[in-house]
Amino acid sequence: MRHNVLFNIRQFKMKNNNQNTALVTGAASGLGYELALLLAKDNYNLILIDIDAEKLEEAKQNILKDYQPNITLMVKDLSVVNIAEEIYKEISNIEIDVVINNAGFGLFGTFCDTDWEREAKMLNLHILTSTHLLKLLLPDMVNRGSGKILNLSSLAAFQPGPLMALYYASKGYILSFSEAISNELKGTGVTVTALCPGPTKTSFQSVVSENAAENKIAFNMACPKDVALYGYNAMQKGKVVAIPGAINKFLSVLPRILTRNRTTKIVRKIQDKNRAS
């Protein structure tokens, strides 16, 4: 597999020196796939990364039905420590113009009772891998004076989340980190956007809890195509924080209106009702 990836990347570089290239994690389905489609429509070549080889190949074939980008697939477990360095070594000869850190998953339950091994994988994925990948790719972008980054945060970033404590906290990190480096990068030609969607109809819901495959509360459930388009346009414009939907914008400021303590209690009640078996 590694030999094939390196061969594809060499071919990729030889054939596509004049086109921009985008790297998308979690690209096999959901928002990652929809964002990859938008990039292909705008004539970007694609490096698509996901842990699911079968779905990743399916995503590639679906994209090629309508568009003709050069697509390199990388089957990687992004929850593994130092996986970002492995990826960077395999693509170091390619100029990356866009980075979309989309891969992620959630975990439901009280912190006292949830599985640490799975939580560690989530934290490695959401925080370490996404941060390390940018640490490696950003200097090249800054040296060239251009680049766009889209980090997938969440509406969850704006308040604590009982029963999904580490997920909410990790999304808060992504938002804070994105805002900070966006400020640092002013004047460099590189922009950073944090996309903060509310509930979105993707496969995310089916892996959050073994006891609840679907949200019981369907209120404010967004279409992934719409969320992806909103985030994509915000990234292209260099917007720092992108919150799709008027309801979500209101909910993002609710902790300032009701206090964080009261908002935390409301989130707990919603989680209890939404995911309890």
Residue range 140-147: mean pLDDT, rounded: 98
Q: Say what percent of the chain tops pLDDT 90.
A: 77
Residues with Cβ within 8 Å of residue 143, at least 6 apart in sequence: none
Domain boundaries, the chain: 2-275
**Given pLDDT bands bounded at 50, 70 and 90, which one contains residue 13?**
very low
H runs (alpha helix) in the chain: 2-15, 30-41, 53-66, 83-91, 116-123, 130-144, 165-184, 204-208, 224-237, 246-258, 260-275
Looking at 167, 168, 230, 232, which residue is catalytic? 167
Question: What HEC string does 238-271 produce?
Answer: CCCEECCCHHHHHHHHHHHHHCHHHHHHHHHHHH
Q: At what angle do helices 2-15 and 83-91 cross, to 10 degrees?
A: 40
- pLDDT tens-digit map of 198-242: 988 766 555 555 444 455 555 567 899 999 999 999 999 999 999
Per-residue model confidence (pLDDT) at position 255 = 87
57 CB-side CA count, 13 A = 2
User: DSSP state, 222?
Assistant: B
Q: Are strands 45-50 and 71-75 parallel, antiparallel or unpaired?
A: parallel
CA angle in degrees (0–180, nearest 5) for 152-248-265:
100
Q: Which residue has the tokens 């766009």?
A: 148
pLDDT in tens, 115-138: 999 999 999 999 999 999 999 999
95 φ, ψ (degrees, to nearest 5): -80, 120
CA–CA dist 248, 174 (Å, integer): 18
CA–CA distance, 96 with 24 (Å, rounded to integer): 11
pTM to 2 decimals?
0.88
Return d(Cα 240, Cα 37) in angstroms, integer.
22
CATH classification of 2-275, choosing from 3.40.50.720, 3.40.50.1100, 3.40.50.360, 3.30.930.10? 3.40.50.720
Where are the alpha helices (H) located in 49-115, listed in sequence order? 53-66, 83-91
- Both structure tokens of 204: 């995310």
The Cα–Cα gap between 32 and 47 comes to: 12
Mean pLDDT of the chain: 90
Residue 111 has pLDDT above 60, yes or no: yes
Euclidean distance between CA atoms 49 and 193, whole angstroms: 20
Q: What is the pLDDT, as a whole number, of residue 273?
A: 79
How far apart CA 206 and CA 163 sit, in angstroms, is: 16
Verify whether residue 167 is a known catalytic residue: yes
At residue 183, what is the residue type? N
Give the confidence band of 270 by pLDDT, cuts at 50, 70, 90: confident
| Confidence label for 15 from pLDDT (cuts 50, 70 and 90) | very low
